[in-house]
């Protein structure tokens, strides 16, 4: 499988991705950084279904992100396993 960039909202549950960038405005970037998200970090998508929220695991923290926000977060799907804790 090749690496590809896509919005977080398009990633299937169970996938592991790397956060590439946040395309929203300054307010959105500040909010997501305050939630602990930053470029280059690995996250696991736990739940994304329909038009509701996306639930992710970022480090040891579960976050629920609205679909609109998730569409503005660009991630890269990569081969490989989730790092051990």
> What angle is formed at CA 54 by the lines to CA 53 and CA 58, rounded to 5 degrees?
140
Do 2 and 78 contact (CB within 8 A), yes or no? no
The DSSP output letter for 34 is H
Q: Is 64 helix (H, G, I), strand (E, B) or coil?
A: strand
Question: What pLDDT digit, counting tens, does each position of 24-75 carry?
Answer: 899 999 999 999 999 999 999 999 877 789 999 999 999 999 999 999 999 9
Domains in the chain: boundaries: 4-77
Phi, psi (rounded to 5 degrees) for 7: -70, 150
Taking the model in full, what pTM does it have? 0.83
> What angle is formed at CA 32 by the lines to CA 42 and CA 71, rounded to 5 degrees?
75
CATH H superfamily, domain 4-77? Ferrous iron transport protein A (FeoA) (2.30.30.90)
């Amino acid at each position: 499988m090749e690496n590809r960039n896509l919005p977080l909202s398009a990633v299937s549950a169970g996938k592991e991705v790397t956060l590439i960038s946040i395309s929203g405005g300054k307010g959105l970037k500040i909010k997501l950084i305050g939630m602990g998200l930053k470029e280059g970090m690995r996250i696991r998508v736990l739940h994304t279904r329909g038009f509701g929220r996306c639930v992710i695991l970022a480090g040891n923290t579960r976050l629920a992100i609205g679909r609109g926000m998730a569409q503005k977060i660009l991630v890269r799907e990569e081969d490989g396993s989730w790092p051990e804790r």
